[in-house]
Amino acid sequence: MVQKLLVLGIESSCDETGVALVRCEAATGSVQVPALLAHALYSQIEMHQAFGGVVPELASRDHIRRVLPLAQEVLIAADCQLSDVDVVAYTRGPGLAGALLVGAGVACALGAALGKPVLGVHHLEGHLLSPFLSADPPQFPFIALLVSGGHTQLMRVDGVGRYVLLGESIDDAAGEAFDKSAKLMGLAYPGGPLLARLAESGNPKAYALPRPLLHSGNLDFSFAGLKTAVMVQAKKMVAAGGVSLFEELPRAQQCDLAASTQAAIVDVLLRKSLTALKESGLTRLVVAGGVGANRHLREQLNAACAKRNIRVHYPELHLCTDNGAMIALAGAMRLQSGVQQASMAYAFDVKPRWPLDML
């Protein structure tokens, strides 16, 4: 009989506290997609909105309050006992140092109390592998577009732990471009989803915004210049409209700038992804991270890839944001494939900066 492992995953890298349970086969040298038994998530967005962005100290303190009640909720939902857990996986990095320390400390304390091993997981690897929990899981190898508030990267993925960085953002990530542009338009934090909502009613060709590094000859990204262009355009519109604030302009104008901004970001992501696929010769694309939930991005990628007989895979929408399920999954898949073993050493450290290709 194949041995089964119950993996508890804890995510606390930024402003979401996530806990999940997955069941997987023990190390076999190959990967069978683990089964997600239950997961729970608490978002701190409402708390941070008053400050216009994440306050690290407040984030850390809130993780302390939430993580154990969420763990209890998940155990009850999965009809499991804490003593049933075989491995405790946690986000080791990258992320906010204080927030990471909360998850790592709780995970290692649980492991020590239970006499069970622990496993530090790379946050981006969790995002990268999260589509394996979808109704249409990918197969290796594939090109991965990791696109979130803090990271924009293209990776070649040949298996668990086998990642080659093809290109990344040299300044602002795509998610930052969404959020910072939204802030310039007077939208509340986090503004990216609000900008996307405005864009649905706008003309994406209304304003000629730049597509930075689109013809750079490499697969790197840059969105800081786009953010500056949005700021300049917004100021022009305010001056021409005779108002004091962008949000006082007619809604149609607001929607047009939002749509033009979104189109510029999506166009760069689309073109660079297609180039990576063409250069690699691969016919499978995985899109993961919070921006992967953007409807316009999905529509453009789906249409372009369908013309080229390329399969596109996404995480389920509720797993696009940071969550414990992706951490439990990544830990389980690393154990299954034999690329890492869990440890009974409970002295821990975290890695706020941790390149995925150095994993």
Cα angle value 68/72/77 (rounded, 5°):
145
- State pLDDT tens for residues 28-50: 666 788 999 999 999 999 999 98
The answer to whether 36 and 133 have CB atoms below 8 angstroms apart is yes
3-state helix, strand, coil in the chain (%, to 5): 45, 20, 35
CATH number belonging to domain 142-314: 3.30.420.40
Residue 270 has pLDDT above 90, yes or no: yes
Reported pTM: 0.95
Note the pLDDT of residue 150.
87
Note the pLDDT of residue 2.
62
- State pLDDT tens for residues 115-129: 999 999 999 999 999
Mean pLDDT of the 278-294 span:
97
Which residue stretches of 281-349 are H helix?
295-307, 324-337
Q: E-strand spans in the chain?
A: 4-11, 16-25, 35-43, 87-93, 118-122, 142-147, 152-159, 162-168, 284-288, 311-313
**Domain extents for the chain?**
4-130+320-358, 142-314
For 56-91, the three-class secondary structure string (H helix, E strand, C coil) is HHHHHHHHHHHHHHHHHHHHHHCCCCHHHCCEEEEE
Given this chain, do its domains 4-130+320-358 and 142-314 carry the same CATH topology? yes
Note the pLDDT of residue 358.
83
Note the pLDDT of residue 93.
97
In this structure, whether the domain defined by 4-130+320-358 belongs to CATH 3.30.499.10 is answered with no
Please state, as a whole number, how many other Cβ atoms lie within 10 Å of the Cβ of residue 143.
25
d(CA 107, CA 352): 17
Residue 279 has pLDDT above 80, yes or no: yes
Mean pLDDT over each residue of the chain, to the nearest integer: 95
- State pLDDT tens for residues 69-111: 999 999 999 999 999 999 999 999 999 999 999 999 999 999 9
